[in-house]
Amino acid sequence: MRIADLICSEGKTGFYFDDQKAIVSGAGHDGFIYTGDPATDGFRSIRVPGESISVMLILENGEVAYGDCAAVQYSGAGGRDPLFIAQDFIPIIEGQVRERLLHRDASSFRELADEIDSIEIDGKRLHTAVRYGVTQALLDAASRSRRITMAEVVKEEYSTGVELRRIPIFAQSGDDRYTNADKMIIKGADVMPHALINNIDEKLGRHGEILKAYIEWLRDRVLLHREEEEYSPIFHIDVYGTIGMLFNQDMDKMADYLKTLEEAASPFKLRIEGPMDRGGRKEQMEALRDLTALLDQRGINVELVADEWCNTYEDVIYFADNRAGHMIQVKTPDLGGVNNSIKAILYCKEKGIGAYLGGTCNETNRSAEICVNIAMACGARQTLAKPGMGFDEGYMIVNNEMNRVLALAGRRR
């Protein structure tokens, strides 16, 4: 099946672009709006609307395959590409990218995705968001050409050897970490609640007491309201480097504090994402590597998750090779083409490191659906419920797509 045309449409995402540097530095609130001046290039205010681009491939039989370009909530932070503005990139996609894809055979994904992901225009690679959306569309095109699910395309082309099954879904609460946690308990979320701990004074506490109390509340809430005793969600908290900031990057003090959080979460398993942010790739890898080793040495049963400064496929290799974290978030928009997310999950599994197919609340329903297919095909340890921060919508999108894939693939078997 050949590609007859490519067109784009501008869209909105499920959340916003937020200036992480300004927020971690103590930006104020006025309702849902952050107050103060932005601190990252490209931001006109600390919170701006998220933008996307739908890339539509018109196939020669008239079918339309599509994917969505999107970038993470905290664009421009942690070594990422700058803020993604749709109107800046539609001309590039409908111009040079379209020229590369016209009349190409869309029935095979891997080779064409690698080509598009690596092209340069004026000596620069395409923005990660552009590569992300175009390769999604290529995966959908291969699926439609071959009349199988996108998960089956990935499974076949990358020889993953994985049996398609449900993958644990990681739900995110946003700032409404109490009400949304209740929703997660009612719906039986596998991993929860993210909690968005991105400010020391408001969410962590100057002695770590606010987060500890929240984890204790979460533990008691699950024990009180779970419908079945077997329901045992994993607590996964993203702290955006604030623990490192609080304890001045002192490894022993951080480990001591993580021990108290482990006790607060018991009997539930605890994961902490981004315990520190050292401001650079090498520094972050070394700090996370050393803290991971220290927790293992002291028998502290808290899993650390790599996020900041682990953005590209090469970064994932670097962190995995050095065991910087017990689990690595493959943050899908940051890796550019979804072909890189596939390779990253498979590499982590090969190295015995947990592979979490993540992403951002600032994506779309389409990118979320396509990521579900990839997580299932590669056997990721968990996949993110996205987009949005309201829980129900993202969980519905990811859960329902997962069940559709299983039903369709099962029918063929």
State yes or no: 5 annotated in a binding site.
no
Q: What are the b/e assignments for 336-345, b being 16+ CB within 10 Å?
A: bbbbbbbbbb
Diameter over CA atoms, the chain: 63
Which pair of tokens denotes residue 32? 């849902």
Q: Which among 212, 331, 343, 349 is annotated as catalytic? A: 331
CA 221 – CA 15 distance, rounded (Å): 27
CA distance readout (Å), 45 to 16, 23, 121, 172: 11, 11, 30, 24
Is 273 known to sit in a ligand binding site? yes
Rounded-to-integer distance, Cα 371 and Cα 359, Å:
9
Torsion over CA: 342, 346, 351, 354 (sign): positive
With CA atoms as reference, report the closest residue to 7 among 40, 53, 48, 51: 53
Tokens in use for 345?
A: 């999950």
Pairing of strands 302-306, 327-330: parallel
Strands 234-238 and 120-121: unpaired
CB 373, CB 332: distance < 8 Å:
no
Read off the tokens for 91: 């001309």
343 is catalytic: no
Contact at 8 Å (CB) between 197 and 203?
A: yes
* Dist. CA 360–CA 205, nearest whole Å: 25
Element (H, E) at 1: none
- Distance in angstroms (rounded) separating the CA atoms of residues 100 and 93: 10
Residue 307 counted as an annotated binding residue: yes
The residues assigned a catalytic role are: 331
User: Per the annotation, where are the binding residues for Mg(2+)?
Assistant: 238, 273, 307
User: Per the annotation, where are the binding residues?
Assistant: 172, 238, 273, 307, 329
User: Per the annotation, where are the binding residues for (2S,3S)-3-methyl-L-aspartate?
Assistant: 172, 329
